[in-house]
Every structure is written in structure tokens, then in C-alpha cells.
Amino acid sequence: MNTLWVIANIILFLVLIGLLFYMQKKHLSFSKRVFSALGLGIVLGLYIHLVFGTDSSVTNHSIEWFNIVGSGYISFLKMIVMPLVFISIVSAFTKLKLTSNLGKISALVIGILIATTAIAASIGIATSLGFQLEGIELEAGEAEAEKNTQLQQTVGDVEDMSIPQQIISLFPQNPFMELTGARPTSTIAVVIFAAIIGIAYLGVRRKEPEHGEFFAKIIETIYTIVMRMVTLILRLTPYGVLALMAKVTATSDYSAIVKLGKFVLASYVAIILMFIVHLLLLLFAGKNPITYVKKVIPVLTFAFTSRSSAGALPLNIKTQHEELGVSEGIANFAGSFGLSIGQNGCAGIYPAMLAIMVAPTAGVNPLDPVFLGTLVVIVAISSFGVAGVGGGATFAALLVLSAMDLPIGIVGLLISVEPLIDMGRTALNVSGSMTAGVLTGKITGELDEEVYNQPKQRLQI
């Protein structure tokens, strides 16, 4: 009987995929298809959750089949991330307009990312204090105890590294190994390696123009092919969102969410407040924040459902350039740097909130100005090298709590609501990188105002 129910769920899932394919054939906009997939995924997931429950064999086997589409889509995106990061950075150096402002652009992108992370940390602190969150109120169940056991090895590695050693770990060691994403800091290592190649290209172009021109043509060709691959993969986005959202809503532990509702609510209040900060920064820069929201919604929707900043990178770069008018070079820098530097949600809000919650258990006054100032600085510094995939927030939290000599057990106590909160954090991370791209383009004069102000969606996928 259970097998029949699994088959029925798979057929229903395939029918919804067929509906999304029909919408594509009817040339409905990308954003409408993504939102439709989001809604259909929620309905499908809730149906499975309510009828079969989270732990039933029907639910598990149904989701296992759905994962062929959902996890398969994420795998395709991860496959393209490292090649895209590498070729995007190198390509940025081959564009004359960008190279003339290279130092300024790099400093602006990184500066904005770090500054917004510091603001995010401050908002996380204020929210924790406002909601009077306390880590001592949390209880450890079997899953939480298992998670804390797993964290012991990770925190041991983190605690053994000083801040200078952590900075050194960002540097590329073996470029081929880094391209495989073998280390948590591989993304920033690939960015540095690509930047070194780009700087070498500038020297060759100046001294041996013919070799520089030949290299630039090769890079442009590879970039065109990679972007074509990106377009092909992004066309699968609605189907991936359908599967991912169905999994989240079908398997979420709603009793745990209710139990930790105060922390979940505080987290989303902080995330929303930081998103408003992004909009205010754009407003101060003379850009219409409503236009920004309308154009980035598809990207944020995917980031929300996938919980992967790295997975959202292709759509991030494409939207910055084609929808917001950011030059290709700046979009590549902002999107790529945003994967490992200054993630407002995972590396800003989350570690700061946990530090405030756990401080009293370590005998530290969370209202101490010195403690608060130190926390903001450490959060900003620790935001370098945080992986842009699920689990990056845990790594960031371990870095910050270890640096502040605070107990790390609280990280494991939140495992039951981690996926739900991580969805919002990831969307905020992606918004932060796009905001950095728009602001940098505006300051350097490389923002196409006409494209940004275009009211109609121009992104074609």
C-alpha cells in the first residue's frame, strides 16, 4: 500500500513539473514560473506532511524521488560555480574599462560587504537583546546532542588557528585542489588565484600586446561558453524550486519550530531589518528600492529555497548585469566576493545573535560596551572565507564564539530550526552581494541607469 502512495506522489510531482513546462512553452516570465513553483512546492509539501507525517516511509521515499530534481539541480549549480567564479574574475581583468578602476572597484566591493556585515551584526545584537533571547532556555534532545558531538572536531580545528593563521588559510595552496571546493575557504582562494592571473595578464598586455590580445580572446570565448552553460542550467530553476520547497515543507519539524518560535521570529525580524538597510543604502545612492525588489525577487526566491549562496551565483551575476545595469566586471566581482566575504545573514546576524544568547552562561555581561564592540569587529573579520553553501553559518558561528571564548554548544541546540532560518539568511546574503554591486557601479559610474530604471523584467532564461 505504501508503494502505491509513493507512486501516486511521484505522479503528482510529475504532473506539476508538466504544468511548469507548459508555462515555459507559453513564454510566461521567469519570475512568474519561479513563484508558481514556490507556491506549488509549498502545497505539495504540506499535503505530504499532513497526510503522511514527517517520519513515514511514504514521505521519505517520496522525497527521495523528488530529490532527483531538487538535489540534482543544486549539484548542477555547484558544478558550474567554481568555473564561473574563476572565469568571471579573469574576464573582469580583460575588460579595459574595469581595469582602469580595478583597485577602486575591489576596495569598494569588499568595503561595502564588510561594512554591511558589521551593520548586520549590530542588528543581530539589538534583536537578541530586544527579544531577550537566552541560550540557557534551550534544551538538548538526541539530535542536538549528536550535532554537538560532530561540532567538537570542527571547533577543535577552529580553536587551534589564530586570526593570522585563519587569514593565511584564505590563500590558494593548490589551484587545482581549490577548484574542487575541497576547503571551506576554496571559493575565496579561487578568487585570489584568478585575480593573480588577471594581474599577470595586465602586465603581459602592456609589454606584449599581441599575446595579451590573444589571451583576452581565449578568455572571452571560454566566458561565453560558461555563461551559455549557466543559462541552460538556470532554465531548470522552477523545477528545482518545486522539488526543494516540497522537501522543506514536507520534512520540517513544526513542533520544534513552535518550541523555538521566539528565536525563529527574532531571526527573521533581524533579517528583514537588514534587508531594509539594503534598500535604504540604495535609496541614499539615488536608486529606486522598489525597482530593485521587483527585479531581484527571482534570485532571492531561489536563494531562499536552495539555501545556497554559491548555487545562486549564476542567477545573481546575470540579474546584476541584465536587470540592474551593473557592468559585467563589477557584477562578477560582487557576486564572487559575496560568496566568501561579508555574508550579512550567515556571517553577520547569526553569529552575533548566538554570542549574545550564550554570553550570560559564560559569566559575560551582554550589555558591556567593550564586549559588544569587540563582537562586531570579530564578526566582521571572521566573515572572510565563509563557504557560500549550507553550513556556512555554522562555520561562522564557531569562528566567532571561539574567538570570543564563548561555549559553542548553542550551535547544536538550534539544529531543528536551522534549515528554516538558513533560508532567510541565504536570501539576505545574496541581496547583500547584489547591493554591493549596484552601489559600486553607481560610485564608479559603471551603472547603466537606463537598464536599472527599466520597469519591465528584461531577464530572459
In DSSP notation, 10-38 reads HHHHHHHHHHHHHHHHTT--HHHHHHHHH
Is it the case that residue 434 has pLDDT exceeding 90?
yes
For residue 271, the model assigns a pLDDT of 95
Q: Give mean pLDDT, residues 419-428.
A: 88
Residue 436: predicted pLDDT: 95
Q: What is the mean pLDDT of the chain?
A: 83
User: Which residues, 6+ apart, have CB-to-CB distance to 175 below 8 Å?
Assistant: 189, 190, 193
What percent of the chain stands above pLDDT 70? 86
Rounded CA separation 206/213 (Å): 10
Give residues with Cβ within 8 angstroms of 323, minimum separation 6: 295, 296, 451, 457, 458, 459
Neighbours of 14 (CB within 10 A): 12
pLDDT of residue 377: 87
Counts of helices then strands in the chain (DSSP H, E) = 22, 0
Q: How confident is the model at residue 145 (pLDDT cuts 50, 70, 90)?
A: very low
Q: Are 125 and 372 in contact (CB under 8 A)?
A: yes
Please name the residue ranges forming H helices in 94-208: 96-99, 102-130, 142-159, 163-168, 175-178, 186-207
Give residue 412's pLDDT. Answer: 63
Q: Name the grid cell of 208.
A: 606584449
Q: What is the pLDDT of residue 241?
A: 86
Rounded distance between C-alpha atoms, residue 434 and residue 92, angstroms = 17
C-alpha cell at 445: 559610474
DSSP state of 389: S
Q: For the segment 39-96, what is each residue's pLDDT rounded down to a tens digit?
A: 999 999 999 998 888 888 888 999 999 999 988 988 888 788 788 888 888 887 887 5
Q: How far apart are CA 33 and CA 218, in angstroms?
A: 35
Per-residue confidence band for 421, with pLDDT thresholds at 50, 70 and 90: confident
Q: Residue 267: pLDDT above 50?
A: yes
58 vs 140, more confident: 58
* pLDDT tens column, 280-297: 999 999 999 999 999 998
**What does the buried/exposed string (b/e) look like for 416-436 if buried means 16 or more CB atoms within 10 Å of the residue's CB?**
bbbbbbbbbbbbbbbbbbbbb
| Choice among 46-50, 206-210, 386-390 with the minimum mean pLDDT | 386-390
Q: Which of 138, 206, 84 is nearest to 412 (CA)?
A: 138
What is the widest separation between alpha-carbon atoms in the chain?
Answer: 74
The SS3 assignment for 365 reads coil
Is 60 exceeded by the pLDDT of residue 430? yes
- Dihedrals phi, psi of 407, to nearest 5 degrees: -65, 140
pLDDT in tens, 368-378: 889 899 889 88
Least confident of 103-117, 156-170, 435-449: 156-170
pLDDT recorded at residue 418: 77
pLDDT of residue 202: 86
Sorted by where each starts, the structural domains of the chain and their CATH numbers stand as 2-453 (1.10.3860.10)
**Helices 350-358 + 392-403 axis angle, to 10:** 40
